[in-house]
Amino acid sequence: MKKRHKTILACLLTCIMLFSLLAVSPSMEISAKAADTKKACWISFLDIEVLLQDKTEKEFRAKVSDMYDNVIKYGMNTVIVHVRALGDAMYPSDYYPWAEYFTTDRSDPGYDPLQIMLDLAHQKGLKFEAWINPYRLSRDSESTASFKATPYYERFRPFTIEYKASARQTCLVLDPAKQETRELITNGVEEIVRNYDVDGIHFDDYFYVSGMADNLDIASKKANVNALVSQVYDTIKSINPSCTFGISPAGNPDNARKQGADIDTWLSAPGYIDYIMPQIYWTDIYVTSKGVERMFTNRCTAWQEINQQGIPIYVGLALYQAGTKSKTDLGWASSDNNLAYQYLTAKQLGYDGYALFRYEWLEKDIATKELNHLKDY
């Protein structure tokens, strides 16, 4: 029975994909906008920690060059690089300590990693966006202890929240309600945009996460986050109007709202963001109590429906899920064509491109077929 069940599900996925492919006309596949379509790869601090940590400048340049060649090989044109992930910086900063995920002892490596990554990207024809976690200072008890050992902890302490995350880990985060927080984050963004010719500034989905100010009402959370977002937007545009500011919120719109991401305002009023990139990390064979749901398509549709300004909207795709087995999200193990199908589905719904999370899977065999299918389309 189990084998038969899997066969039926595999056939269902194939039919869904074929329907989508047949629905795409040649004019949609080869449009005038094709050259401007964003095809990006997130290079997370997790990738940097594994692939780039504690390298000499020569080693660093060589590895980054290889990474970019991989990005280009799979048809992408943009890298979104984690330059500030945990209240720290992967560049010499007046506001933050050196990133532990880049140099384990937080020491100056003797070169500027951000400048090198930016220069190499532009030399290879890639756009470069600087990715920032605005509020997060640590992600677990170990990184909390590390940050507390820096002189920046006492400096930030008056506007810092300490809370318990999953598995009772102690974490630190800047308090979004405080003006000092907004000034610090905005100053950090200004430092990047003034000193580096980045093509964009990128925030992800870490706003009011679980365990952090849980008693605060959603309206207050949104107001606090909006005050930062509009201030950052104005600051960027005052320095370099061509530098974009985009946000990648949680893929479930309701969850994004609960975390303080005022997506309805951002997508209906000017002065907040230049693009939105929801992280829609599910397939169209997702099992719920009501049966199999087309989770990916439904979430893509929901986001486009609230995009009242018609600003560029890109879909965040879960490259890291390629080939994984799940009791609920069955598509990943049923096919190696999920990403291509998802990209085509998003294009049909009016999306302007995609980003893959995350780089390390470009070097994993389990993702190769998914990547090649995506590149073909």
Q: Domain holding 243: CATH number?
A: 3.20.20.80
Task: Check whether residue 262 and residue 313 sit in a common domain.
Answer: yes
Whole-number Å distance between alpha carbons of 298 and 179: 38
Look at the chain and report how many structural domains it folds into: 2
Task: Check whether residue 94 and residue 230 sit in a common domain.
Answer: yes
Hey, is 213 helix, strand or coil? Answer: coil
Q: pLDDT tens, position by position, for the chain (377 residues)?
A: 444 444 445 455 544 454 444 343 333 333 334 446 999 999 999 999 999 999 999 999 999 999 999 999 999 999 999 999 999 999 999 999 999 999 999 999 999 999 999 999 999 999 999 999 999 999 999 999 999 999 999 999 999 999 999 889 999 999 999 999 999 999 999 999 999 999 999 999 999 999 999 999 999 999 999 999 999 999 999 999 999 999 999 999 999 999 999 999 999 999 999 999 999 999 999 999 999 999 999 999 999 999 999 999 999 999 999 999 999 999 999 999 999 999 999 999 999 999 999 999 999 999 999 999 999 98
**Is there a domain that residue 55 lies in?**
yes
Task: Check whether residue 227 and residue 268 sit in a common domain.
Answer: yes
**Is there a domain that residue 58 lies in?**
yes
Q: Which residues 6+ apart lie within 8 Å of 254 measured at CB?
A: none
**Is there a domain that residue 25 lies in?**
no
User: Last residue of a domain, which of 145, 175, 205?
Assistant: 175
Q: Which residues 6+ apart lie within 8 Å of 199 measured at CB?
A: 78, 127, 128, 129, 243, 244
pLDDT of residue 121: 98
**Is there a domain that residue 86 lies in?**
yes
User: Last residue of a domain, which of 114, 148, 175?
Assistant: 175
Q: What are phi and psi of 109, to 5 degrees?
A: -75, -10
Task: Check whether residue 163 and residue 275 sit in a common domain.
Answer: no
Query: Is residue 277 within 8 Å of 313, Cβ to Cβ?
Result: yes
Task: End-to-end CA distance of the chain: give it in Å, rounded.
Answer: 35
Task: Check whether residue 275 and residue 289 sit in a common domain.
Answer: yes
Q: Which helix (H) or strand (E) holds 9?
A: helix 2-23
pLDDT of residue 12: 53
Task: Check whether residue 233 and residue 215 sit in a common domain.
Answer: yes
pLDDT of residue 36: 67
pLDDT of residue 13: 52
Whole-number Å distance between alpha carbons of 139 and 341: 34
Task: Check whether residue 42 and residue 189 sit in a common domain.
Answer: yes
Task: Please state the pTM of the whole predicted model.
Answer: 0.92
Task: Check whether residue 168 and residue 94 sit in a common domain.
Answer: no
Task: Check whether residue 132 and residue 48 sit in a common domain.
Answer: yes
Task: Check whether residue 315 and residue 195 sit in a common domain.
Answer: yes
∠325-276-88 over CA atoms, to 5°?
Answer: 80
Query: How far are the Cα atoms of 41, 68, 356, 358 from residue 71, in angstroms, in the given order?
Result: 7, 5, 10, 11
User: Last residue of a domain, which of 120, 147, 175?
Assistant: 175
**Is there a domain that residue 23 lies in?**
no
pLDDT of residue 167: 87
Whole-number Å distance between alpha carbons of 229 and 247: 9
Report how far Cα 187 is from the mean position of its chain's Cα atoms.
Answer: 22
Task: Check whether residue 160 and residue 271 sit in a common domain.
Answer: no
**Is there a domain that residue 51 lies in?**
yes
Which residue in 65, 57, 67, 68 sits closest to 112, CA to CA?
57
pLDDT of residue 26: 34
| Eight-class DSSP state of 193 | H
Range of the domain at 154: 137-175
Task: Check whether residue 338 and residue 369 sit in a common domain.
Answer: yes
